[in-house]
Amino acid sequence: MVEMDWPSSLNEYEKLVIRMNTPRVVIDNAVCPNATLVTVDSARRHGILLEAVQVLTDLNLSIKKAYISSDVRWFMDVFHVTDQNGNKLTDESVIRYIEQSMGSIHCGRTNGNNGLTALELTGTDRVGLLSEVFAVLADLQCNIVEAKVWTHNGRIASLIYVKDCDSGCPIEDSQKLDQIEARLRNVLKGDNDIRSAKTSVSMAVTHTERRLHQMMFADRDYEWKPILKPSDDCPIVTVQNWIERGYSVVNVQCKDRSKLLFDIVCTMTDMEYVVFHATINTAGDRAYLEFYIRHTDGTPISSEPERQRVIQCLQASIERRASEGVRLELSAEDRQGLLADVTRTFRENGLNVTRADISTQREMAVNEFYVTDAVGNTADPKLIEAVRQKIGLSNLKVKELPMICHKNVESEEQPVGVGGAVLLSLGSLVRRNLYNLGWIRSYS
């Protein structure tokens, strides 16, 4: 637990206010044999659950189980977490970081890129679009430092952090920024996206993945006709109202993966819903999540169209990060135009980028691309090998799709079923959570 150093100028009342609004964090490796327990309790405010989950997911930790309970103005979260290998957290620096970060979430958190210009792009996805975007930026002397690209339902959202190639500084000249926006907008428009293509420039510090969710939500990607394939493992989302208690109960069942809880809570928060109680469980490669929610004004979901919209939006939040295609990792000495050249090679060989994570570490470009063929199917291995030959076998490597570690965590209850979404009584839910928190001896 983090101890506070009080400024001498604070009186006892001011210290009390700070204590009440500062989350209390306890990290325990003794209670559960297969996971580290991270317990957070604090005064409740809108968005604090998302910020707590964000701390864990930014460290690429797996949340195997979670219990969330909010009572009037106070909330408590218990997360069962492991590293990506399914082990408990033993690195003291990681534990200290969690304690310090969780203890400061009452102030709000960002992890944006200081000293860089952020370019936000949304529009209709097509083969070669990313190549054209990077070519424009290279031509305008913009050095891409970091970028993330998501595609979903035929839409694309990208957040690209750049600086001026010559000066190495953020791009602040208004004429150049206008030129960048205009040329990128023309690329995004293509032949048929005149109305929905959008570009913007920002110097604000923001959480990149949170912002991508907001951009796709604003683009209403959940309303576009989905591109379905026979093998799609679509998430199952059901929503029912519990009128007597004034809650809407959301059940989600889907394939487990990294950052799943963050994606769902992010969308709920941006839709102005508050999670009062929740239980999250994983079993094998499946995740089972149940949320008791209300609007920020305290009311449940009020109509069938709203219920359907919640289902659509939550399904979209889960699917956006789904990585289709072959994962390629590029590691090469960074240079101007590198991304334009690599993605042009993808385009010329009929490969479409469905997701990208681009970063620069010192003088090296460390990039990850998910690629399919032009119609969204798995790319021919011979085609992938031909692309590697052109870019450099040592620079571009084929990696397996990320694997979720399924090391079992002991569970006191069976996963909540969602086909039919049986409503549990609030009393039962709260008692069960209190039992799991160790506050009572039995919830039966």
Which residue in 137, 156, 139, 136 sits closest to 148, CA to CA?
A: 156
Question: Which pTM does this prediction carry?
Answer: 0.83
Provide CATH code, domain 117-206+324-399: 3.30.70.260
Q: What is the pLDDT of residue 168?
A: 84
Q: What is the pLDDT of residue 43?
A: 81
CA distance 141 to 352: 25
Q: Which tokens sit at 217?
A: 């939500």
Task: Provide the residue ranges of all domains of the chain, joining segments of one domain with +.
Answer: 22-110+230-321+407-437, 117-206+324-399
Count of residues for the chain?
444
- Tell me the pLDDT tens digit for each residue of 415-433: 443 333 334 444 444 445 4
Q: What is the pLDDT of residue 365?
A: 94
Phi, psi of 345, rounded to the nearest 5 degrees: -65, -40
Q: Spell out, as residue ranges, where the chain has pLDDT lower than 50.
A: 1-4, 6, 15-16, 107-109, 230-231, 401-431, 433-444
What three-state secondary structure class fits 305?
A: helix
CA distance 148 to 166: 23
- Tell me the pLDDT tens digit for each residue of 346-356: 999 999 999 99
Q: What is the pLDDT of residue 15?
A: 47
Q: What is the pLDDT of residue 119?
A: 95
